[in-house]
Amino acid sequence: MFIQIFCSLVLFIALIFFVMKCGFFHPKGISPVTSIILFLAKCAGGFAMGFYYLNYAAGGDTLLFFKQSQLVTDLLFHDPVSYFKVLTGLGDQTKLSVFYESLMGWYTNDSLFNDSRTVIRLSSIFGIFSFGNYYFNVICFSFLAFTGTMGLYRFFSMNIERNFSILIAVVFLIPSCLFWTSGLGKEALALFALGMLLELVNRSLFEGLNKSRVTLIIVILYFFILIKIFLLLLLLPAIIAYVILNKSSRYNALTVFAICHFVFFVLMIFAGSVNPELDATELIYKKRYDFEAFSKTVPADTKSYLNLPEFTPDYKSIITATPAAFFTTLIHPWFSDAKKTESWMQLIENIVIISIILFSFLKIKRVNELLNKSVLIFCISYVITNFVLIGLTSPVLGAMVRYKALILPFLLMIPLIIISHSGQQNKIDTFEKQAT
């Protein structure tokens, strides 16, 4: 017990020192002290998630990942060659089939939507130094999530000129995002990949590409594919449109984003026609079917079951269900879902977010100028595509809230950009009146 606590404290102090000294964590609007406070908040979110699952939710995925990673870590000490085969996936894997079958969550036919293996492998590396302490691994995952969140902040901060204090709250301090994306799980790694990819793309746009940035982008893309490839697939058309608009300002933002998403849609149809295993309609339908089957076998989850729009595995049916899917994700959790204390907390957060969005709509000025802001359309498109996919495939409220948490910073950036634009326009209008 002493060695576990000691190693965790050493890691914690070392990471605080690194955050304090590393310039990446001190972009405009964030001082070293503020950065440390935000890192502590991220760790607190990871600890809270772990404490909740370990004490009130029978462990959940986070404990499952940790226990399976311990089995992999133990392999290192009595069969190092096999350990590195498990870690890398390289070499002859046939002799490890029995070991793999003992790992819950290792085999899945749902690899397009997520891959538990990366979480288990990474946690097994941290487990070498944790001496079996779950919260040591949580600190490591919290740091990765914090790094990704900082990447998100750096991306957004280069696209707005004011309200950096509000931006900090939007990116770092949304309660659901702090809770669900800071612990030992896929969401922390997905947030790391998402934030770092956007930061690297933005940095390349403003400062130019070099070998190190190209290498890092390739590594992050590969990591993204291993964690949550669907998040990357939904992100790609938005990134391409964003890059085009930042390279040339003569194009209309809304038009470019619409064209990029249409081309992506056509490519999806083509991929499905060439290889039936890549048929997006079948994949979405299967994801929904698997989730519904799972929810019926777990009583704790059926209590939070949502009636999502029905559809069949064809594009016409899915497109018809799209509006209902989007609004289902947007409005939930709602009053009908508030059965427990945590549900009420999620409900209050959701009401506040929707209220902020509605308030920002009242502040809209010069719509044509606003709709030509690439970062605004980027956020709108990414929110819509993710919310639609979540609303089509996730009939369990707990899963919907967890998936939605990753997208909330993008959702709240929409009103922040609108209000910032409105404030800037008010200053311009005031100056013009004084000049005349």
Average pLDDT over residues 81-103: 83
Task: Note whether 280 and 394 are same-domain residues.
Answer: yes
Is residue 53 located within the same domain as residue 137? yes
In a domain, 217, yes or no: no
Residues 106 and 15 occupy one common structural domain: yes
Q: What domain range includes position 401?
A: 269-436
pLDDT band at 431 (very low <50, low <70, confident <90, very high): very low
Residue of 389 and 287 predicted with greater confidence: 389
Angle at which helices 134-157 and 164-172 cross, to 10° = 140
The predicted pLDDT at position 109 comes to: 57
Q: Are residues 288 and 202 in the same domain?
A: no
d(CA 397, CA 134): 26
> pLDDT for 112-126, tens place per residue?
555 788 999 999 999
Q: Is the same domain home to 199 and 291?
A: no
CA 301/CA 398 separation, integer angstroms:
8
Kindly list the distances between the CA atom of residue 234 and the CA atoms of 43, 229, 240, in Å, as whole numbers in the listed order.
28, 9, 11
Q: Are residues 204 and 280 in the same domain?
A: no
Which of 166, 184, 208 terminates a domain? The answer is 208
Domain stops at, among 159, 177, 208: 208
What pLDDT is recorded for position 302?
45
* pLDDT for res 372: 60
Distance between CA 315 and CA 322 in Å, rounded? 10
pLDDT for 428 beyond 70: no
* Per-residue pLDDT band at 430 (split at 50, 70, 90): very low
| Same domain, residue pair 154 and 291 | no
SS3 309: coil
Q: CA of 319: how far to CAs of 148, 289, 412, in Å? A: 32, 18, 25
Q: Which of the four pLDDT bands, split at 50, 70 and 90, describes residue 33?
A: very high
Q: Are residues 203 and 275 in the same domain?
A: no
pLDDT tens-place string over residues 262-277:
999 999 889 888 888 8
Backbone region of residue 271 per phi and psi (left: phi > 0; alpha: psi in -120 to 50; beta: other values): alpha
User: 189 pLDDT band (50/70/90 cuts)?
Assistant: very high
202 with 274, same domain? Answer: no
pLDDT(298) > 70? no
184 and 319: one domain? no
Phi, psi angle pair for 174, to nearest 5°: -70, 125
Rg (CA), the chain: 22
Quick check: is 243 in a domain?
A: no
| Amino acid 246: pLDDT | 87
Distance CA 198, CA 204 (A): 10
Mean pLDDT score, 295-299: 62
Residue at 247 is within a domain: no
- Give the model confidence (pLDDT) of 198-220 as tens digits: 999 999 998 888 889 999 999 99
Q: Cα(343)–Cα(333) distance, rounded to whole angstroms?
A: 7
Q: Is residue 213 a part of any domain in this protein?
A: no
Total number of domains constituting the chain? 2
* pLDDT the model gives residue 91: 77
SS3 143: helix
Check whether residue 36 and residue 168 sit in a common domain: yes
- φ/ψ (deg, to 5) at 161: -110, -5
Could you report the per-residue pLDDT of 6-30, keeping only the tens digit for each? 899 999 999 999 999 999 999 998 9
Establish if 172 belongs to a structural domain: yes
How large is the angle between the packed helices 134-157 and 2-21, nearest 10 degrees? Answer: 10
Out of 162, 187, 208, a domain closes at 208
| Residue 30 forms part of a structural domain | yes
Domain membership flag for residue 33: yes
* pTM of this structure: 0.91
Roughly how many angstroms between the first and final C-alpha of the chain, as a whole number?
Answer: 74
Residue written as tokens 């339908």? Answer: 285
Q: Are residues 289 and 183 in the same domain?
A: no
List the single range of 92-96, 186-190, 250-254, 334-338 with lowest mean pLDDT: 334-338
pLDDT reported for residue 355: 94
Residue 150: per-residue pLDDT: 97
**Contact (CB, 8 A) for 141 and 130:** no
Q: Does 321 fall in a domain?
A: yes
